[in-house]
Amino acid sequence: MNLTLHVWRQKSASEDGRFVSYDAQGIDAHMSFLEMLDVVNENLETGGEEPIAFDHDCREGICGSCSMVINGRPHGPRKETTVCQLHMRHYEDGDEIWIEPWRASGFPVIRDLVVDRSSLDRIIASGGFISARTGSAPDANAIPVSKANADRSMDAAECIGCGACVAACPNASAMLFTAAKVAHLNLLPQGQPERTSRVLDMVLQMEAENFGSCTNHGACETACPKGISVDFIALLNRDYLVAAVGRSG
């Protein structure tokens, strides 16, 4: 199939960006979206032009590196699918595709489709861990944990930190990400000793990173390639309230 791509090109953070149109010709339906861009890039490089810069790593939907907005949707049109797992059989000959980077003040553009997501790393560094020394492996079931909490924590832990939630949100809020990272630890026994400081510190860091606030749109859950639920935002809000009241009391 032959497609027309309109891709955001931006040489660096200090220069203006703009859309540039490209013909993607002879694209195989079995290719992934990123493989399609690889083909476009190979042609650009052969012609002496600079290829489109984009992030990728595992190319199998688990690492959280790949990040592009396709026709207005982070990771493209498929539900719970990263862009590296989006295949060209979902497109037709003659289609026009708009490709942009994640748009958020908290994710400054580095080059073309590559943005700086170290803001998410700083949120993790502020509390997304437990400080207990692990020592040697305990006997199985030495620390009782309810199946419900274990399952729910696992659901939250599926977050791959890609930032699609921020890109989808009209406010560019990072609440779904922060909520997932707080929840997966706050639901487990090992996360209890630091439950209060974790939620307060991580929310504080999130607010310092130029993200917007949550006004319950829910676009985040829809865009999330792992299907993280907005219920975790409710959990975060509850934990935050309890922590904040506890601290001042």
Partner 1 sequence: MARTASGLETALERIPALREEFWENGKVVGGGSELNQVLERAGRIADFLELGELMCRDALAREESCGGHFREEHQTTDGEARRNDADFSHVSVWEYTAESAVPVEHREHLEFEYVTPSQRSYK
Binding residues for partner 1 (CB under 8 A): 11-12, 45, 48-51, 53, 110-111, 114
128 or 163: CB nearest partner 1: 163
* Alpha-carbon dihedral angle through residues 227, 230, 235, 238, given to the nearest 10 degrees: 170
Smallest separation (angstroms) from partner 1 to the CB of 100: 17
Nearer to partner 1, 65 or 205 (CB): 65
Closer residue to partner 1 in complex, CB, 49/207 = 49
137-158 per-residue burial string, b: 16 or more CB within 10 A, e: under 16:
eeeeeeeeeeeeeeebbebbbe
CB 77 within 8 A of CB 17: no
Nearer to partner 1, 11 or 89 (CB): 11
Q: How far is the CB of 163 from partner 1 (least distance, A)?
A: 18
Position 227: which residue type? Answer: G
Between residues 51 and 218, which has the closer beta carbon with respect to partner 1?
Answer: 51
Query: Residue 16 and residue 113: Cα distance in Å, rounded?
Result: 13
Q: Which pair of tokens denotes residue 56? A: 């990728």
Shortest Å, Cβ 40 to partner 1: 14
CA angle 126, 193, 231 (to 5 degrees): 70
Token pair 């990272």 in the structure block, residue: 181
Task: Kindly state the smallest distance separating residue 101's Cβ from partner 1, in Å.
Answer: 12
Minimum gap (Å) between residue 111 Cβ and partner 1: 4
Q: Which is nearer to partner 1, 48 or 144 (CB)?
A: 48
Q: Which is nearer to partner 1, 11 or 238 (CB)?
A: 11
The minimum distance between CB 166 and partner 1, in angstroms, equals 21
As measured in angstroms, the least distance from the Cβ of 110 to partner 1 is 5
